Chains A and B, each alone.
Chain A
Amino acid sequence: MPSFISNFNALHRQWILQVFISFCICMLIANAGVRYLQKHTWWAKRDLQMGGFQNEAIAEQYTYGKQKKDIVIVGSSVSTQLPPEGVRPRHVGTIFIQGSGGMSGLELLVRSGAAPKLVLVEIDFLARGVDIALIDTIYTANLIKKYIPALRYENNLVNLFSKRYIKTVSLKPLPQALMDKVNLQLAPRIDAELKAAAGVALPESDIQLLLNMIEARTRILSQRGCKIVFFALPKHPKKVDLPGDLRWKQKLSERFPHYPIIEPNPNTSYFLVDGLHFCAASGKAYFDYLMQEIKRLGL
Chain B
Amino acid sequence: MENFFISSIFFLACIGSLLIYYLPFSRRLQIPLLICVSLGIYWLAAGNLIFLLLFCCVNTAIFSYGAAYAAIKWRKKMMITGIIINISLLVFFKYKRLFIPSTLFAGWFGNDPVWMGIYQLALPIGISFYVFHGLSLMIDSYLNPVLLKTSEHSFLKHLQKTMLYLVFFPQLVAGPIAKGKFFYTQIKPKLFANIDWTNALRALVQGYFLKEVIANNLNQLTAPLSYPEAWAHTASNELLWMVIGYSAQIFADFAGYSLIAIGLGRLYGYELPINFNCPYFAHSFSNFWTRWHISLSSWLRDYLYIPLGGNRISAMRTYANLMIVMAIGGLWHGPEWKYVTWGLLHGSALAIERLLSGRLQFITIYLPTILQAVIQVLRILFVFAFVTFAWLFFRLNSVQEVITFVQHVQAWRMVYTPSHQASLLLLYIFSGTIFAYHLLNSGVLSTMTLRLKRYDGYLAGLLLVLCLIAKGKENAFIYFQF
Complex interface: chain A residues within 8 A of B465 (CB): 22-23, 26-27, 30
Q: Which of B426, B461, B472 contacts A19 (CB 8 A)?
A: B461
Q: Which of B220, B422, B456, B458 has the most CB of A within 10 A?
A: B422
A4 CB to nearest B CB, Å? 4
Q: Which of B193, B198, B421, B468 contacts A15 (CB 8 A)?
A: B198
Q: Which of A3, A151, A273 contacts B469 (CB 8 A)?
A: A151
Q: Does A51 contact B (CB under 8 A)?
A: yes
Contact with A along B396-434 (1 / 0, CB 8 A): 000000000000000000000111011101100000000
Q: Does A216 contact B (CB under 8 A)?
A: no
How long is the Cα–Cα vector from A235 to B409 in the complex, in angstroms? 32
Size of the B side of the interface (Cβ < 8 Å), in residues, is 43
How long is the Cα–Cα vector from A282 to B417 in the complex, in angstroms? 16
Q: Does B236 contact A (CB under 8 A)?
A: no
Complex interface: chain B residues within 8 A of A27 (CB): 465, 468
Q: Does A18 contact B (CB under 8 A)?
A: yes
Complex interface: chain A residues within 8 A of B461 (CB): 18-26
A window 1-17: CB within 8 A of B: 3-8, 11-12, 14-17
Contact with B along A246-282 (1 / 0, CB 8 A): 0000000000000000000000000001100000000
For this complex, into which size category does the number of interface residues on chain A fall? Answer: 35 or more
Q: Does A245 contact B (CB under 8 A)?
A: no
Q: Does B33 contact A (CB under 8 A)?
A: no
Chain A residues in contact with chain B, CB under 8 A?
3-8, 11-12, 14-27, 30, 51-52, 54, 56, 150-151, 155-158, 161-162, 164-169, 185, 189, 273-274
B460 adjacent to A4 (CB under 8 Å): no
Complex interface: chain A residues within 8 A of B92 (CB): none
B220 adjacent to A7 (CB under 8 Å): no
A157 adjacent to B469 (CB under 8 Å): yes
Majority secondary structure, B binding face? helix
Q: A22-B457, A161-B425, A167-B418 are in contact. Are A16 and B201 (CB under 8 A)?
A: yes
A166 adjacent to B419 (CB under 8 Å): yes
A158 adjacent to B458 (CB under 8 Å): no
B24 adjacent to A155 (CB under 8 Å): no
A7 adjacent to B193 (CB under 8 Å): yes
How long is the Cα–Cα vector from A247 to B165 in the complex, in angstroms? 59
Which A residue sits closest to B464, measured CB to CB? A23
B469 adjacent to A56 (CB under 8 Å): no
Q: Does B195 contact A (CB under 8 A)?
A: yes
Q: Which of A22, A25, A158, A166 contacts B470 (CB 8 A)?
A: A158
How long is the Cα–Cα vector from A228 to B217 in the complex, in angstroms? 37
Complex interface: chain A residues within 8 A of B425 (CB): 161, 165
Q: Does B10 contact A (CB under 8 A)?
A: no
How long is the Cα–Cα vector from A162 to B418 in the complex, in angstroms? 10
Seed contacts A4-B22, A12-B198; 6 additional CB < 8 Å A-B pairs: A7-B192, A19-B205, A27-B465, A150-B468, A157-B470, A169-B418
B345 CB to nearest A CB, Å? 31
Chosen A-B contacts, 11 in total, with CB atoms closer than 8 Å, are: A4-B24, A4-B191, A15-B197, A15-B460, A16-B197, A16-B198, A18-B460, A21-B461, A158-B472, A165-B425, A274-B233
